[in-house]
Amino acid sequence: MSDRAHHAGILWIISAPSGAGKTSLSRALVQETTALRTSVSFTTRAPRPGEIDGQDYHFISAEQFAGMAERGEFLEHALVHGNRYGTGESWVKKQLFSGVDCLLEIDWQGARLVRERLPEHVVSVFILPPSLAVLAERLRGRGQDSDEVIARRLAAAREELLHYDEFDYLVVNEEFQRALEDLRCVVRAEHLRRNRQQHEEHTRLRTLLA
Ligand code: 5GP
Protein backbone atom coordinates (compact mmCIF):
# COMPACT_ATOMS: atom_id res chain seq x y z
CA MET A 1 0.00 0.00 0.00
CA SER A 2 1.44 3.39 -0.99
CA ASP A 3 1.92 6.22 1.48
CA ARG A 4 -0.84 8.14 -0.24
CA ALA A 5 -3.30 5.32 0.41
CA HIS A 6 -2.49 5.34 4.15
CA HIS A 7 -3.72 8.89 4.51
CA ALA A 8 -6.84 8.40 2.45
CA GLY A 9 -10.25 7.11 3.41
CA ILE A 10 -11.39 3.62 2.49
CA LEU A 11 -13.45 3.23 -0.66
CA TRP A 12 -16.18 0.80 0.36
CA ILE A 13 -18.05 -1.08 -2.33
CA ILE A 14 -21.25 -2.85 -1.41
CA SER A 15 -22.82 -5.07 -4.05
CA ALA A 16 -25.72 -7.50 -3.94
CA PRO A 17 -28.48 -8.85 -6.10
CA SER A 18 -31.47 -6.52 -6.20
CA GLY A 19 -33.63 -7.18 -3.12
CA ALA A 20 -30.86 -8.51 -0.85
CA GLY A 21 -31.22 -5.45 1.40
CA LYS A 22 -28.08 -3.61 0.38
CA THR A 23 -29.62 -0.13 0.48
CA SER A 24 -31.20 -0.49 3.95
CA LEU A 25 -28.01 -1.97 5.38
CA SER A 26 -25.82 0.73 3.81
CA ARG A 27 -28.12 3.49 5.09
CA ALA A 28 -28.07 2.14 8.63
CA LEU A 29 -24.28 1.81 8.55
CA VAL A 30 -23.70 5.32 7.18
CA GLN A 31 -26.12 6.85 9.69
CA GLU A 32 -24.16 5.56 12.66
CA THR A 33 -20.64 5.91 11.24
CA THR A 34 -18.82 9.23 11.28
CA ALA A 35 -16.51 9.94 8.36
CA LEU A 36 -18.40 7.58 6.04
CA ARG A 37 -20.40 9.08 3.18
CA THR A 38 -22.42 7.49 0.40
CA SER A 39 -21.79 8.50 -3.18
CA VAL A 40 -25.03 9.41 -4.98
CA SER A 41 -24.92 7.68 -8.36
CA PHE A 42 -26.12 9.04 -11.69
CA THR A 43 -28.75 7.03 -13.54
CA THR A 44 -30.91 7.15 -16.65
CA ARG A 45 -33.59 5.08 -14.85
CA ALA A 46 -36.88 6.85 -14.02
CA PRO A 47 -37.38 7.67 -10.31
CA ARG A 48 -39.55 5.22 -8.34
CA PRO A 49 -42.33 6.72 -6.24
CA GLY A 50 -40.82 8.46 -3.23
CA GLU A 51 -37.30 8.65 -4.65
CA ILE A 52 -35.69 12.06 -4.43
CA ASP A 53 -33.41 13.51 -7.10
CA GLY A 54 -29.99 14.27 -5.67
CA GLN A 55 -30.62 12.03 -2.67
CA ASP A 56 -31.39 8.54 -3.98
CA TYR A 57 -29.82 9.17 -7.39
CA HIS A 58 -29.04 12.01 -9.72
CA PHE A 59 -31.70 11.24 -12.33
CA ILE A 60 -30.41 12.35 -15.72
CA SER A 61 -31.26 11.81 -19.39
CA ALA A 62 -29.46 9.36 -21.66
CA GLU A 63 -27.94 12.37 -23.47
CA GLN A 64 -26.63 13.90 -20.24
CA PHE A 65 -25.22 10.52 -19.22
CA ALA A 66 -23.44 10.06 -22.55
CA GLY A 67 -21.98 13.57 -22.22
CA MET A 68 -20.59 12.85 -18.75
CA ALA A 69 -19.12 9.54 -19.95
CA GLU A 70 -17.50 11.25 -22.91
CA ARG A 71 -15.96 13.93 -20.69
CA GLY A 72 -14.55 11.19 -18.42
CA GLU A 73 -16.53 12.35 -15.38
CA PHE A 74 -17.32 8.83 -14.15
CA LEU A 75 -15.10 6.71 -11.94
CA GLU A 76 -17.06 3.80 -13.44
CA HIS A 77 -20.29 3.31 -15.30
CA ALA A 78 -22.29 0.31 -16.43
CA LEU A 79 -25.50 -0.87 -18.02
CA VAL A 80 -27.64 -2.58 -15.35
CA HIS A 81 -31.14 -3.97 -16.00
CA GLY A 82 -31.31 -1.90 -19.20
CA ASN A 83 -30.48 1.42 -17.55
CA ARG A 84 -27.19 3.26 -17.23
CA TYR A 85 -25.65 3.89 -13.82
CA GLY A 86 -22.44 5.72 -12.99
CA THR A 87 -20.34 6.97 -10.08
CA GLY A 88 -19.13 10.56 -10.27
CA GLU A 89 -15.35 10.62 -9.97
CA SER A 90 -14.55 14.05 -8.53
CA TRP A 91 -16.80 13.83 -5.46
CA VAL A 92 -15.49 10.40 -4.49
CA LYS A 93 -11.84 11.39 -4.87
CA LYS A 94 -12.40 14.59 -2.89
CA GLN A 95 -13.79 12.58 0.04
CA LEU A 96 -11.11 9.91 -0.08
CA PHE A 97 -8.18 12.27 -0.26
CA SER A 98 -9.50 14.32 2.63
CA GLY A 99 -9.49 11.12 4.72
CA VAL A 100 -13.22 10.37 4.58
CA ASP A 101 -14.49 6.86 3.83
CA CYS A 102 -16.76 6.64 0.83
CA LEU A 103 -19.42 4.04 0.14
CA LEU A 104 -20.48 2.95 -3.35
CA GLU A 105 -23.61 0.85 -3.80
CA ILE A 106 -22.87 -0.47 -7.26
CA ASP A 107 -23.11 -3.68 -9.28
CA TRP A 108 -20.33 -6.24 -9.90
CA GLN A 109 -19.32 -4.62 -13.20
CA GLY A 110 -18.79 -1.26 -11.49
CA ALA A 111 -17.03 -2.97 -8.57
CA ARG A 112 -14.59 -4.57 -10.99
CA LEU A 113 -13.83 -1.27 -12.71
CA VAL A 114 -13.30 0.64 -9.45
CA ARG A 115 -11.02 -2.13 -8.13
CA GLU A 116 -8.93 -1.74 -11.27
CA ARG A 117 -8.84 2.05 -11.00
CA LEU A 118 -8.18 2.40 -7.26
CA PRO A 119 -6.90 -0.98 -6.03
CA GLU A 120 -5.22 0.39 -2.93
CA HIS A 121 -8.35 2.08 -1.65
CA VAL A 122 -11.09 -0.47 -2.22
CA VAL A 123 -12.60 -2.85 0.31
CA SER A 124 -15.58 -4.69 -1.13
CA VAL A 125 -18.49 -6.45 0.51
CA PHE A 126 -21.05 -8.70 -1.14
CA ILE A 127 -24.44 -9.07 0.53
CA LEU A 128 -26.05 -12.50 0.11
CA PRO A 129 -29.77 -13.15 0.46
CA PRO A 130 -30.54 -16.24 2.60
CA SER A 131 -32.20 -17.96 -0.41
CA LEU A 132 -33.61 -17.27 -3.87
CA ALA A 133 -37.13 -17.79 -2.51
CA VAL A 134 -36.62 -15.05 0.09
CA LEU A 135 -35.12 -12.80 -2.56
CA ALA A 136 -38.17 -13.24 -4.83
CA GLU A 137 -40.48 -12.54 -1.92
CA ARG A 138 -38.60 -9.36 -1.01
CA LEU A 139 -38.72 -8.13 -4.61
CA ARG A 140 -42.47 -8.70 -4.76
CA GLY A 141 -43.00 -7.17 -1.33
CA ARG A 142 -41.41 -3.92 -2.45
CA GLY A 143 -44.48 -3.43 -4.65
CA GLN A 144 -42.88 -0.74 -6.74
CA ASP A 145 -42.10 -2.66 -9.90
CA SER A 146 -44.15 -4.59 -12.47
CA ASP A 147 -44.10 -8.43 -12.72
CA GLU A 148 -42.01 -8.16 -15.83
CA VAL A 149 -39.41 -5.99 -14.07
CA ILE A 150 -39.34 -8.40 -11.10
CA ALA A 151 -38.82 -11.44 -13.36
CA ARG A 152 -35.99 -9.61 -15.11
CA ARG A 153 -34.39 -8.71 -11.77
CA LEU A 154 -34.60 -12.29 -10.48
CA ALA A 155 -32.75 -13.48 -13.56
CA ALA A 156 -30.25 -10.68 -13.07
CA ALA A 157 -29.88 -11.67 -9.38
CA ARG A 158 -28.48 -15.03 -10.42
CA GLU A 159 -26.06 -13.27 -12.73
CA GLU A 160 -24.97 -10.91 -9.92
CA LEU A 161 -24.56 -13.85 -7.48
CA LEU A 162 -22.07 -15.50 -9.83
CA HIS A 163 -19.59 -12.76 -8.96
CA TYR A 164 -19.59 -13.16 -5.18
CA ASP A 165 -16.02 -14.48 -5.27
CA GLU A 166 -14.61 -11.18 -6.53
CA PHE A 167 -15.38 -9.54 -3.16
CA ASP A 168 -13.33 -9.29 0.04
CA TYR A 169 -16.20 -9.99 2.46
CA LEU A 170 -19.50 -11.85 2.37
CA VAL A 171 -22.40 -10.85 4.61
CA VAL A 172 -25.62 -12.90 4.68
CA ASN A 173 -28.68 -10.73 5.22
CA GLU A 174 -31.01 -13.21 6.83
CA GLU A 175 -31.63 -11.08 9.89
CA PHE A 176 -31.09 -7.33 9.47
CA GLN A 177 -29.48 -6.53 12.84
CA ARG A 178 -27.09 -9.46 12.54
CA ALA A 179 -26.05 -8.41 9.04
CA LEU A 180 -25.57 -4.82 10.22
CA GLU A 181 -23.40 -6.06 13.07
CA ASP A 182 -21.32 -8.04 10.56
CA LEU A 183 -20.82 -4.88 8.50
CA ARG A 184 -19.80 -2.92 11.62
CA CYS A 185 -17.20 -5.61 12.37
CA VAL A 186 -15.79 -5.43 8.86
CA VAL A 187 -15.50 -1.63 9.01
CA ARG A 188 -13.82 -1.77 12.41
CA ALA A 189 -11.40 -4.50 11.37
CA GLU A 190 -10.34 -2.67 8.22
CA HIS A 191 -9.61 0.47 10.25
CA LEU A 192 -7.52 -1.61 12.66
CA ARG A 193 -5.24 -2.88 9.89
CA ARG A 194 -1.65 -2.24 10.80
CA ASN A 195 -0.89 -0.21 7.71
CA ARG A 196 -3.75 2.19 8.48
CA GLN A 197 -3.05 2.34 12.22
CA GLN A 198 0.59 3.00 11.48
CA HIS A 199 -0.41 6.37 10.06
CA GLU A 200 -3.13 7.22 12.58
CA GLU A 201 -1.05 6.12 15.57
CA HIS A 202 2.18 7.53 14.28
CA THR A 203 2.84 9.71 17.33
CA ARG A 204 1.93 6.99 19.82
CA LEU A 205 4.16 4.48 18.07
CA ARG A 206 7.04 6.93 18.03
CA THR A 207 6.68 7.56 21.76
CA LEU A 208 6.33 3.86 22.56
CA LEU A 209 9.40 3.02 20.58
CA ALA A 210 11.50 5.95 21.79
P1 5GP B 1 -31.80 0.21 -8.59
O2 5GP B 1 -32.27 0.71 -9.91
O3 5GP B 1 -32.64 -0.91 -8.06
O4 5GP B 1 -31.65 1.32 -7.59
O5 5GP B 1 -30.33 -0.38 -8.80
C6 5GP B 1 -30.12 -1.40 -9.72
C7 5GP B 1 -28.68 -1.84 -9.67
O8 5GP B 1 -27.81 -0.81 -10.13
C9 5GP B 1 -28.17 -2.23 -8.30
O10 5GP B 1 -27.50 -3.47 -8.39
C11 5GP B 1 -27.19 -1.14 -7.96
O12 5GP B 1 -26.15 -1.62 -7.16
C13 5GP B 1 -26.68 -0.74 -9.31
N14 5GP B 1 -26.11 0.60 -9.29
C15 5GP B 1 -26.59 1.70 -8.67
N16 5GP B 1 -25.78 2.75 -8.87
C17 5GP B 1 -24.75 2.30 -9.62
C18 5GP B 1 -23.56 2.92 -10.13
O19 5GP B 1 -23.29 4.10 -9.97
N20 5GP B 1 -22.73 2.12 -10.87
C21 5GP B 1 -22.99 0.80 -11.12
N22 5GP B 1 -22.11 0.11 -11.82
N23 5GP B 1 -24.09 0.19 -10.63
C24 5GP B 1 -24.95 0.94 -9.89
Domains within the chain, CATH numbers bracketed: 3-39+101-208 (3.40.50.300)
Specify the higher pLDDT residue, 199 or 58: 58
Name the least confident of 95-99, 147-151, 183-187.
147-151
- Give the pLDDT band (50/70/90) at residue 110: very high
Determine whether the shortest distance from the Cβ of 41 to ligand 1 is under 6 A.
yes
Q: Across residues 47-74, what is the average pLDDT? A: 97
For the CA of 57, the closest atom of ligand 1 is 16
Q: Is 20 annotated as a binding residue?
A: yes
Q: DSSP string of the chain? A: --HHHHHSPPEEEEE--TTSSHHHHHHHHHHH-TTEEEPPPEE-SPPPTT--BTTTBEE--HHHHHHHHHTT-EEEEEEETTEEEEEEHHHHHHHHHTT-EEEEE--HHHHHHHHHH-TTTEEEEEEEPS-HHHHHHHHHHH--S-HHHHHHHHHHHHHHHTTGGGSSEEEE-SSHHHHHHHHHHHHHHHHT-HHHHHHHTHHHHHHHT-
149 beta partners = none
User: How high is the pLDDT of residue 66?
Assistant: 98
Specify the higher pLDDT residue, 193 or 3: 193
Answer yes or no: is pLDDT of 5 > 80.
Answer: no
- Give the pLDDT band (50/70/90) at residue 145: confident
Q: Is 23 annotated as a binding residue?
A: yes
- Give the pLDDT band (50/70/90) at residue 2: low
For the CA of 78, the closest atom of ligand 1 is 22
pTM: 0.93
Determine whether the shortest distance from the Cβ of 85 to ligand 1 is under 6 A.
yes
ipTM of the modeled complex: 0.99
Please choose from 38, 106, 113 the residue to mutate so as to test ligand 1's pocket, defined by most ligand atoms within 8 A of CB.
106
Answer yes or no: is pLDDT of 123 > 70.
Answer: yes
Q: Is 54 annotated as a binding residue?
A: no
User: How high is the pLDDT of residue 117?
Assistant: 96
Determine whether the shortest distance from the Cβ of 17 to ligand 1 is under 6 A.
no
For the CA of 45, the closest atom of ligand 1 is 2
CA torsion 125-8-55-128 (nearest 10°) is: 0
User: How high is the pLDDT of residue 189?
Assistant: 97
| 13 Cα–ligand 1 center, Å | 11
Determine whether the shortest distance from the Cβ of 26 to ligand 1 is under 6 A.
no
User: How high is the pLDDT of residue 6?
Assistant: 59
